[in-house]
Amino acid sequence: MTIALYMDEHIHASITVGLRLRDVNVLTVQEDQRSGIADTRLLDRATELRRVVFSQDQDFLIEAQHRQSEGIPFAGVIYAHQRVVTIGDCVRDLEIIAKASDPEDLANLVQFLPL
């Protein structure tokens, strides 16, 4: 099985395009008409859709840690700091994760990029 990704609002469009060219299942917050909503609600929405969130927003790390400590389930978060990981690195690593993992592998976890 593969992982479907849910791209946070501020992810560079080149990452989404690059993943789609590699046949990775990607849905953006904008396409889901959820722009501007709180990170907690986005994480809930991603979990509802059974998609792992990809974000470069540190607030997602705080929310994921809160859910981990409280035992609140979520589909998973993949995080990359904008100044540390290039667009190409993101595309490469996200493709690997999406194609080589099952949803259960990232459930309730945070994966940091680069791999």
Name all domains of the chain by residue range, CATH numbers in brackets.
Answer: 5-113 (3.40.50)
- Residue 1 clears pLDDT 80, i.e. is over it: no
Query: Could you tell me if 5 and 24 are in contact, meaning their C-beta atoms sit under 8 angstroms apart?
Result: yes
Residue 66 makes CB contacts below 8 A (sequence gap 6+) with 72
**Looking at the whole model, is its pTM more than 0.85?**
yes
The pLDDT of residue 27 is: 98
Query: Could you tell me if 78 and 96 are in contact, meaning their C-beta atoms sit under 8 angstroms apart?
Result: no
Half-sphere exposure of residue 57: CA atoms within 13 angstroms, side-chain side: 18
The pLDDT-based confidence of 9 (bands split at 50, 70, 90) is very high
The pLDDT of residue 2 is: 92
Which among 11, 14, 20, 8 has a CA at the least distance from the CA of 45?
Answer: 8
